[in-house]
Copies of this chain bind each other. A is one copy, B any other.
Amino acid sequence: MPRRSDRPLDRDLIAACALALFREGGLAAVTTRRVASALGVSPMALYVHVGNKEGLLDAVVERLMRAIKIDLDSEASWPAQAEQWAHALRAELSAHPGAMDLLRTRRWALVRCTEPLIRALLAAGFSEERAIRAARLVTWVTMGFLSVESGVDLLGSDDRQADRLERSLDRLEVLEGRAATSPASRGRGVDRADIDALFSLELRLIVRGLEAGLDLEPHD
């Protein structure tokens, strides 16, 4: 992370510094005042270059996403490539825990990453319109999953969540009186393996559906 005024301060330098703070402490750590002080500059010096807090965060996602390159195996079938794309994106973004906090309201920052996906679909003979719509579906599915996933606190013991979840499950009348589910699946919440499996499954169902042309049927 850059310090002092060895360089004349511009949007890029600010973004680099803010991104460094983001990587360390997530969205909460990106503060105009903290970025400024890390750059050895007054908070107001930033405003000329990024406009305001919103613009600062725009610069952060932009830089974050520019570092992400998704390469697909062009020999593979398009369904395989679609799944590969989603898994690759998830892998990249899971390296930056707070990424979805930024991306959820800044879909434009992801567009560049969807290029290989759209390219794969076009190469497979999709019409331009269908390719864009299919890519949008896969993108939303992936972003949605990552967004929910990012709300799951697996780090630490997370006793609060687990407690509340257990209490909620215990109150579920449907399950009452039934042979209690294996304690493993009852109130335990989800772990890494569950989440990975859930993502793979969701993705598979979506891609298989596209493969079957279910997106071409007239909709209710």
List residues of A whose CB falls within 8 A of some B CB: 58, 103-109, 111-112, 114-115, 118-119, 122, 128-129, 132, 136-137, 140-141, 143-148, 150-153, 161, 164-165, 167-169, 171-175, 178-179, 181-182, 185, 190, 197-198, 200-202, 204-206, 208-210, 212, 214-215, 219-220
Q: How many identical subunits does the complex contain?
A: 2
* Cβ–Cβ < 8 Å partners of A144 in chain B: 141, 143-148
Are A105 and B151 interface neighbours, CB within 8 A? Answer: yes
Q: Which 8 A-B pairs have the closest CB atoms?
A: A144-B144, A205-B209, A104-B151, A111-B168, A108-B164, A147-B147, A108-B165, A105-B151
Q: Is the CB of A198 within 8 A of B140?
A: yes
Which residues of chain B are near A118, meaning CB under 8 Å?
172, 174-175
**Chain B residue, CB-CB nearest to A184:** B129
Contact of A153 among B105, B182, B206, B212 (CB under 8 A): B105
